[in-house]
Amino acid sequence: MKSVSIDELRQSTESIVREAAHEATLVTDQGEVVAVIEAAKPISPGRRFPSGHWESVRRPQLNADSTDAVSADRDR
């Protein structure tokens, strides 16, 4: 497993991240491992929510323009 310091990571981020797609890389700070950069695991295709999920979600019922409700929620 490859190891790089934080300073090396700062100077060569792009190449280190590209290499980590093939081999995990340890990131060290003063000789101590502080992080691991490794390839992301592929996301499995398919549904993200179970069937019928959105039908069971309770939504507020508004009798007016939703802009006021969104603004009020944002400002709280």
pLDDT at 23: 93
Helix (H) or strand (E) holding 56: helix 53-56
For residue 21, which of 36, 34, 9, 38 has the smallest C-alpha distance?
38
pLDDT at 71: 83
pLDDT at 47: 65
Q: What are the structural domain ranges in the chain?
A: 2-37
pLDDT per residue rounded down to tens, the chain (76 residues): 899 999 999 999 999 999 998 999 999 999 999 999 999 887 777 767 667 766 766 777 767 777 877 888 887 7
pLDDT at 6: 94
| Prediction pTM value | 0.54
